[in-house]
Amino acid sequence: MKGTDKTTVYLDPDDYRRLKGLGRKRGAPAAELVREAVAEYVVRHAPAQTPKSLGAFSSGRRDLSERAEDLLDGMGRGVRKGTGKGASAVTDIETRTGPRQARRR
C-alpha cells in the first residue's frame, strides 16, 4: 500500500456487519474493501479530464469543423506500389464515389 491518509468513517451497523462478512469471504480487512469502494467511486464520479493538447493548436482554417469529412476523404486508403530500387511510387486512391486515377509522386 502506497502512502495513505487516515480518516474515520461512520457506517450503519448493518452495512458494517455486511462489510466485515464480505471481508471474511475475501480474506481482506474491511479497511481494504472501503479503500477499493472509494477508489471505484472516485473514478466513476470524477469529471473526465480534458487532454492538455485540446485547443492548444490552430489549423488556421475557419471551416475545419464543417469540412472535416471532405478534408479527410481518402486518408488511409492509399496503396503504395513499385517501391523497389529505381521504381516510381504510384498510389491508388479509392473514395466513397469509386476509384480515382492513380497519381505519381
Domain that holds residue 90: 74-104
Domain count, the chain: 2
- 60 lies in some domain: no
d(CA 33, CA 54): 37
What pLDDT, on the 0 to 100 scale, is given for residue 11?
96
pTM of the model: 0.46
Residue 99 C-alpha from the chain's centroid = 33
- 28 lies in some domain: yes
In whole angstroms, how large is the CA radius of gyration of the chain?
29
What pLDDT, on the 0 to 100 scale, is given for residue 54?
78
Please give the order of strands across the beta sheet that includes 90-92: 79-81, 90-92, 103-104
What pLDDT, on the 0 to 100 scale, is given for residue 90?
46
Max Cα separation, the chain? 81
What pLDDT, on the 0 to 100 scale, is given for residue 56?
78
- 57 lies in some domain: no
- 96 lies in some domain: yes
Per residue in 12-38, pLDDT tens?
A: 999 999 999 999 999 999 999 999 999
What pLDDT, on the 0 to 100 scale, is given for residue 22?
97
Per residue in 34-93, pLDDT tens?
A: 999 999 999 999 888 888 877 777 878 888 888 888 888 878 776 555 555 554 444 444
- 79 lies in some domain: yes
What pLDDT, on the 0 to 100 scale, is given for residue 95?
46
C-alpha cell at 28: 481482506
Nearest CA to 78 out of 63, 92, 95, 61 is that of 92
Q: What is the DSSP string of 21-47?
A: HHHHHHT--HHHHHHHHHHHHHHHHSP
Residue with more model confidence, 6 or 48: 6
- 2 lies in some domain: no
- 30 lies in some domain: yes
- 68 lies in some domain: no
d(CA 90, CA 103): 6
